[in-house]
Chain A
Amino acid sequence: MKTAEIMRVSLTNGLRVVIEEDHSAPVAGVAVHYDIGFRAEAEDRSGLAHLFEHLMFQGEAGGERDHFQQVESIGGFCNASTRQDYTDFYNVVPAEAVARVIELEAGRMRAPKITERAIQAQTSVVREEILGKMRKPYGGFPWPRLSPVLFRDFANAHDGYGDYASLQHVTLDDCLDFFDRHYSPANAVVTITGDVDTGAVLEVVERTFGRIPARPVPALGSWWEPEPAEQVAAEYTDPMAPLPAFALGHRVPNAAADPGAHFALSALAGVLTGGNRPRLRERLRRETGQIITFSARVGLFDLLDARDPDMWILTAVHPKALSTEQVLAAVDAELESLEPTEEELRRRRTTWINAHHRSMDEPANRVRMLGRFELLFGDPGLAGRLPDLCAEVTAADVAAAARSLRAQPGALLSVVPQEKR
């Protein structure tokens, strides 16, 4: 297995650069993480971070072809995502094209092509994207529907996907201002991984990104808010859902301070809902003869993917023959008494570590994980230590994590299927 060294450096304009060589395949990954997620949006511009992500694909001002065309014509692919605390843009290209794609990313960081026409078209595209994601059974479940149940503050509670009503009023000035404030080099991390020479790509980075003038960086906001004093419950009707469902959301410790706690919660999620004999499904099958589909995870989108606050989520889809209360009682009983066996823990660990290796074998996942760990935690090497963190979790840690969730009220979101007439 490779023991790649990661190089970290900051340019004079404040841009952070992360480079990791990996010569196992003739490809390279280039990612740019901007320290602007949907939590930092203004109340009347809900969805602007996501819309702006779309607009960045117009590429550099003055260019004839947009970013997709440029990257695809050199044989690569590219995409982007908008999360709570960052927006990331990533490209995977044949290794010989790495310099070109670095130039393209620097070009759109320096001066993106933002036009009224693109704002209009991309607002429609975002509307289509949201329609596709929301207009299906359990669309928007648990995210973004669970966030406003667990959280009170707009930053944490609002729908970061984008609110078509508010996006319709986004102006060119809004976008230029958004770019100016959040897309400065000192507010970003550039990550390059794969079949590259560190010195050579660093030279390209300095020649391209290095020429972008420094701009001030907005102060890092704190999104912390008090935990709910008692359980907050909400429900909604999903006309397409075939069965009732619910999601439980619980606040988790700050990932930056205690990544190990997130692994204990992740192992708990695995023991409760993963593998061939997940505890929750087996308990309810034993007690009621019914099959319930559970899933659980740490992190609204992914493990170690956001600053504080973030959540642990459990979802259940259950037959109408069982009430939400019956299923919740079983979850509570399991959390109260859970003592995982060594074998159980070992199996969940194997599953997690194998999934991690499989994920890191994908150039896009690797470059994005290194970049987000630099941006969120100043520690891209964390990616390589995850299997160890996973292996360090003990049965006692998992039991303690289960009790900690019980002690904390959290949020309950119920999905009511519409009775067919």
Chain B
Amino acid sequence: MNAPRPSPRATKTIVFIAIAVLTNSFGNLMLALGMDRMPAFTHVPFAHYLIGLLANPFLLPGAALSAVYTLAQISLFSWADLSFVIPCTAASYIITTLLGEFIMGEQVEWARWLGVVLITFGVVLVAETPVATKPHSAEIPC
């Protein structure tokens, strides 16, 4: 009994959703770590603040990860439904909560764990539906 082989489009969808979820979560983690090290905005001259932003080891990589996240999500729209992609990429809230608990050392209360369970359940429900419900043009743009 062999499991059916996933179609190339299904594989591509899983890979792109994984990229979007991970780059969004880790991008936000790096931006949060970077902003932790910044002085209060109103306490230093603007030019010093700007240099601080650019010299911060977390902020530029964090911004780059956020850019990858945006491009991955927009690429998904070229073959997958918006109503499929948006709930699936919400899995990043799960990773974000786990990172908050285990890397940032936040106390995660029970209501947030309940939220994580609900998101997981919701993503599983959406992932069981077809990736696209209307024909996308087959022409390859580039």
A is bound by B:
no
Partner-A contacts on B (CB < 8 A): none
Interface residues of A (CB under 8 A from B): none
